[in-house]
Amino acid sequence: MNQLLEEFKKFAMRGSVVDLAVGVVIGAAFTAIVNSLVNDVIMPPIGLLLGGIDFSNFFLTLKGGSHPTLDAAKTAGAVTINYGLFLNAIIKFVIVAFAIFVVVKQINRLKQKEEAAPAPAAPPSKEVEVLTEIREILKQR
């Protein structure tokens, strides 16, 4: 049992696992930002352009009568297909995918710059220095 705990500790403390955990936490925070961007910034003007329509209230009632809003339908226990919420989810996905694309593109660009940078010239070895001194002495004679 102790060996299992040690092995788990080694696994959990590896760099890739810690990096993954950090990525998940940042991803959750980024999701909250994207949700706010879509719900509070992008969708209201689009809804206004379409005549004051709120996409989150686009739904089809399969069973349970007619209801003016999705919340009313849920409260009444109606069975609905919430295609407005699906549209919001698609918009959120596109925004997240584009943001990740931009980040990955920038990281790749930075890596290419690092690879393209010439390596500093290595100092000459002792043998080369001695041979250079001998050549200079021979030139002087």
pLDDT at 15: 66
The more confidently predicted of residues 19 and 81 is 81
- Three-class SS of residue 80? strand
Label residue 71 by pLDDT band (50, 70, 90).
confident
**Does one domain contain both 9 and 68?**
no
Q: Which residue range is the domain that position 93 belongs to?
A: 56-141
34 neighbors 95 (Cβ within 8 angstroms) = yes
> Taking 80 as the threshold, does the pLDDT of residue 14 lie above it?
no
Give the C-alpha distances (Å, rounded to integers) separating 122 from 113, 119, 129: 20, 8, 13
* pLDDT on residue 104: 81
96-137: pLDDT as tens digits = 788 778 878 888 888 887 777 666 777 888 888 888 888 988
89 and 45 housed in the same domain: no
Q: Are residues 84 and 45 in the same domain?
A: no
